[in-house]
C-alpha cells in the first residue's frame, strides 16, 4: 500500500506538471454533439453536460489541487513552526499566551470556520489557500513546542547563550532546525487534508470558481445528473479518495519510520 501510494502521488504530480501534454482535449472546449457521453475509448472518463472531456478536466484540475495543498500546507507549517518555537523557547507567560490561543483555535470546527471566512472575504483560489493555511497551523505548533522543550536545555544551546548569541539567532540556527522531524510527517498528512478541504469548498461553490476545473467542482457538477451520468461523480470522487488515502498512508509510514 505504501508503494502504491507513492506511485499514485507521483502520477498526480506528473499529471499536474505535464497536463498540457497529457490531456487529449482542451478542458474548456464545449462540444454540443458530445453532451453526457459515457466512458468510451475516445472519452475515457466520459463528458459533462456541455460536452467537455472529463479526463482532460481532471488532469488540469490536478494542478489546482497540488498548488492549493502545497501552498496551504506551506503557510500553516511556517506559522506553526514559528509559534511553537517561540512558545517553547521563551516559556513563561509567552508560552501560556500562545498555547491558550492555540487551544482556542482548536475549539473551532475548522471546516466551518473556513467556510465562514471564505464567505466573508470572497471565494477564489488565493483566498482558499490563505484561509486553509492560516487555520491549520495548530497541530504543528504543538508538536514543535514539544520538541523545543526537549532541545532548549541541551549543552549547545547553553553554549550559544554563553557566547552572547541573540535569542533570534538561537531560535533560527539551532532550535528550529533541530525540531523539524515531526513537521515533515505533519506536512505530508496535511497535504491530503488540504486537498479534501479544497475539494469540499469547491463542491459547495466556495472554492475555485468556474470555468477553472477543480476536482470538487467537477464532482459538484455531476451531482445533479448522477442518475443518468454516474461517471461525472464517480471519477472525481475516486481520485479525491485515493489522493487523501495515499498521502495519509505515506504520512503514517513516515511517522513510524521517520
Give residue-wise pLDDT tens across range 211-236: 788 898 888 888 888 888 899 999 99
pLDDT of res. 238: 93
Q: What is the pLDDT of residue 109?
A: 81
DSSP code at position 214: -
CA atoms 182, 187, 189, 190: torsion sign: positive
Helices (H), the chain: 2-17, 19-22, 54-90, 92-107, 110-121, 125-134, 138-151, 155-162, 167-170, 181-203, 215-222, 231-256
Domains, the chain, in order of start with CATH, read 2-14+64-256 (1.10.3720.10)
List Cβ neighbours of 94 (8 Å cut-off, separation of 6 or more).
86, 87
Q: What are phi and psi of 176, to 5 degrees?
A: -65, -50
Query: Which range is least confidently modeled, 43-47, 174-178, 245-249?
Result: 174-178
Average pLDDT, the chain: 86
Predicted TM-score (pTM) of this structure: 0.84
Q: Is the pLDDT of residue 256 over 70?
A: no
**For residue range 61-77, what is the model confidence (pLDDT) as tens digits?**
998 888 888 899 999 99
pLDDT for res 1: 87
5-19, 74-88, 170-184: the lowest-pLDDT one:
170-184
pLDDT tops 70 at residue 258 = no
The confidence score (pLDDT) of residue 246 equals 92
User: Closest Cα partner for 115 from 223, 244, 237, 207?
Assistant: 207
How much is the pLDDT for 257? 59
Which grid coordinates belong to 211? 470555468
Alpha helices in 122-180 (DSSP H): 125-134, 138-151, 155-162, 167-170
Q: What average pLDDT does this structure show over 93-111?
A: 87
In Å, what is the CA distance from 93 to each residue of 87, 88, 142, 170? 9, 11, 16, 20
Q: What's the distance, CA 57 to chain centroid?
A: 20
Share of the chain above pLDDT 90, in %: 21
Amino acid at each position: 500500500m505504501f508503494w502504491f501510494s507513492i506511485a499514485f502521488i507521483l502520477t498526480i504530480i506528473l499529471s499536474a506538471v505535464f497536463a498540457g501534454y497529457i490531456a487529449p482535449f482542451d478542458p474548456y472546449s464545449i462540444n454540443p454533439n458530445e453532451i453526457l457521453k459515457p466512458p468510451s475509448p475516445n472519452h475515457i472518463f466520459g463528458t459533462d453536460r456541455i460536452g467537455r472531456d472529463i479526463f482532460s478536466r481532471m488532469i488540469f484540475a490536478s494542478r489546482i489541487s497540488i498548488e492549493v495543498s502545497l501552498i496551504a500546507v506551506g503557510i500553516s507549517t511556517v506559522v506553526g513552526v514559528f509559534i511553537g518555537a517561540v512558545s517553547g523557547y521563551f516559556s513563561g507567560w509567552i508560552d501560556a499566551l500562545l498555547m491558550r490561543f492555540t487551544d482556542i483555535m482548536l475549539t473551532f470546527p475548522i471546516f466551518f470556520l473556513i467556510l465562514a471566512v471564505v464567505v466573508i472575504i470572497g471565494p477564489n483560489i488565493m483566498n482558499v489557500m490563505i484561509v486553509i493555511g492560516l487555520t491549520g497551523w495548530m497541530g504543528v505548533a504543538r508538536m514543535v513546542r514539544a520538541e523545543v522543550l526537549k532541545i532548549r536545555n541541551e549543552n549547545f544551546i547553553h553554549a550559544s547563550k554563553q557566547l552572547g548569541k541573540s535569542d533570534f539567532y538561537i531560535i533560527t540556527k539551532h532550535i528550529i532546525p533541530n525540531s523539524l522531524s515531526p513537521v515533515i510527517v505533519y506536512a505530508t498528512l496535511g497535504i491530503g487534508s488540504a486537498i479534501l478541504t479544497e475539494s469540499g469548498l469547491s463542491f459547495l461553490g466556495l472554492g475555485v470558481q468556474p470555468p477553472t476545473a477543480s476536482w470538487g467542482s467537477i464532482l459538484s457538477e455531476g451531482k445533479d445528473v448522477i442518475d443518468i451520468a454516474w461517471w461525472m461523480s464517480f471519477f472525481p470522487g475516486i481520485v479525491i479518495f485515493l489522493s487523501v488515502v495515499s498521502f495519509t498512508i505515506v504520512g503514517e509510514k513516515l511517522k513510524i519510520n521517520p
